Structure 1
């Protein structure tokens, strides 16, 4: 673990870089990869994947088109403002995941893109399915096509990781690949742009401390340092570590839903983004199971001495609760300021 001088005003301590497990998705020894993944999920729930199959061309195009969108005038971006299905543009300060320590909200803008379900699908009008708003193709030609290709590629990678997760939990390799689980997943990519402003001593964060809601998150970045993780949220003062970018690798973490599924065995870890003055672009990709999937303690995570810690809940119900909690935090904060 290498030490680096902090460039924020948070404190005078040394902030370290975290050493995370690296998993090669072309390794034919799935059980060996599953053991590596299991240890990573027991430790902090963050790891890298390499040889994931998303080409450099696809990745570069997604970042180029993302930057083109965020370079548009605000007036143009507001034409595709986030709708009731949580798709579209989100301006600065749209979220405040850590209101105890943040002022205003996250210093970033974003764009949600979800999997599209055809209009003739019986679940078309469900909260987390349905169409995306898209920028005007005359303004951004090829933009939609680029994002749809990246979305498909990222989902493929998530399904490969889900196989390793299943083996790590002593389940059949295809356990999560059933129609009721990842057959029609709630999969969302989010384009993010940070303007580089962070000063924790003044409550300014790129993204405030939080853990992800769902099952699996892939994070592709432009290489600009910013992501920090806190492996033990209960230790005071909290210890934060930078997650360095590795060329060709994608950062992966599990979310609260996976922690819940594993009965608390796997860790969904607090993370945040602290910038040092540089613009930063990233593309997180979130995967949750199908709308009606029931999230309950997996059979391999139960025993006489380890009864289920969480009640069973439908995936869409759980996600709706989490989104409502997030919006309540923001509304409460705005009402107090």
Structure 2
């Protein structure tokens, strides 16, 4: 038996090539489902390559958000979330605190810009997006929404692969993943660098688990994302792979699978020196009225479910109020 040091040294985040699955190759699909099952039951994190989002779409998007975040603060603040009844738009540095391990931790040292599907005001988180003037960031809305559409399509495909990994019908999650009244969130981030002489390392994002069902994260080449290996209590970096998506399971999916699949604690370390970090997280949190209760095959025979049924909207609202409230932002309901 190896030492604990050997165990820690061998902890890695799996990389899964889904190109064969997307091409409807039965053998490749079975292999992808098996790899995904293993990743979700253990690490709760994986990296996805061979996906459907075009490299040009990713580049145009990353270029657009980098340009947006260089705008003067007063110009970005015109689009601040507090002006939106559905919490879209610009999020200042320190506007949220996600750290679940340290009550004394500072607020998250990132700024963000959030976009959801365009629709009229009404349900929680439903409404119109805010956009900068075309003259300020030419092509920003087009680049953002092109990216949104492609990564949303990928997330739907990933939910189908999750279904297969759980021995469910491939289309089991289709309504949840693509509901026209769903609350998908595409939030871009900018992490300003920490001066090399700063004491310690700062948290771009504090240690947390994601609220929803599944996250697809596009990160640039700077790095800083770390995942907690709970059995050893050690943190492990997720090395950036150009064009890849970091895919992780959120709290709703852990609950849905009766703890079979793991929602894993993670954080972002602020970049050191003079390098800015950019990333974008796509959260497919599904249909607001969906009731989350254990999936077929996820409750062992003779045992009771670990959780009571939970409505998606109730869960998301509670977590928003917790995290944004810690950063001084009050989340209102209709």
Q: What's the TM-score, normalizing by structure 2?
A: 0.86
Aligned alpha-carbon RMSD (Å): 2.2
Q: Is the 8 A contact 1:193 1:281 kept in 2?
A: yes
Q: Is the 8 A contact 2:94 2:327 kept in 1?
A: no
Q: How far, CA to CA, are the matches of 1:20 and 1:306 in structure 2? A: 31
2:216 is equivalent to residue 228 of structure 1: no
Cα 1:181–1:285 shift into 2, 3 Å: closer
Deviation at 1:197, TM superposition (A): 2.3
Q: How far, CA to CA, are the matches of 1:207 and 1:249 in structure 2? A: 20
Report the counterpart of residue 262 of structure 2 in structure 1: 267
- SS of the residue aligned with 1:40? helix
Please, which of 288, 312, 318 is the counterpart of residue 309 of structure 2?
312
Q: How far, CA to CA, are the matches of 1:60 and 1:213 in structure 2? A: 27
- SS of the residue aligned with 2:155? helix
Larger deviation, residues 258-267 vs 194-203: 194-203
Q: How far, CA to CA, are the matches of 1:170 and 1:56 in structure 2? A: 32
Deviation at 1:25, TM superposition (A): 2.1
Please, which of 18, 21, 32 is the counterpart of residue 14 of structure 2?
21
Give the number of aligned pairs.
Answer: 309
Larger deviation, residues 48-57 vs 142-151: 48-57
CA displacement, residues 248-282 of structure 1 (integer Å, 9 cap, x when unaligned) = 32111111111011011111111011133331000
Cα 1:202–1:329 shift into 2, 3 Å: farther
Report the counterpart of residue 117 of structure 2 in structure 1: 115
CA displacement, residues 225-249 of structure 1 (integer Å, 9 cap, x when unaligned) = 10000021x75xx300000011232
Q: How far, CA to CA, are the matches of 2:11 and 2:62 in structure 1? A: 25
Deviation at 1:92, TM superposition (A): 0.7
CA displacement, residues 168-219 of structure 1 (integer Å, 9 cap, x when unaligned) = 11210100013x5532332111110001228997573111101100111111
Cα 1:17–1:157 shift into 2, 3 Å: farther
Cα 1:202–1:249 shift into 2, 3 Å: closer
- SS of the residue aligned with 2:227? strand
2:145 is equivalent to residue 148 of structure 1: yes
- SS of the residue aligned with 2:183? strand
Report the counterpart of residue 296 of structure 1 in structure 2: 293
Q: Is the 8 A contact 1:197 1:206 kept in 2?
A: no
Q: What's the TM-score, normalizing by structure 1?
A: 0.86
Identify unmatched segments of 5+ residues in structure 1: 1-14, 333-337
Report the counterpart of residue 41 of structure 1 in structure 2: 40
Report the counterpart of residue 272 of structure 2 in structure 1: 276
Matched ranges for 1:1-337 at <5 A: 19-27=12-20, 28=25, 29-82=28-81, 83-98=84-99, 100=102, 103-117=105-119, 119=120, 124-178=121-175, 182-184=178-180, 185-197=182-194, 204-232=202-230, 238-274=233-269, 275-277=271-273, 278-331=275-328
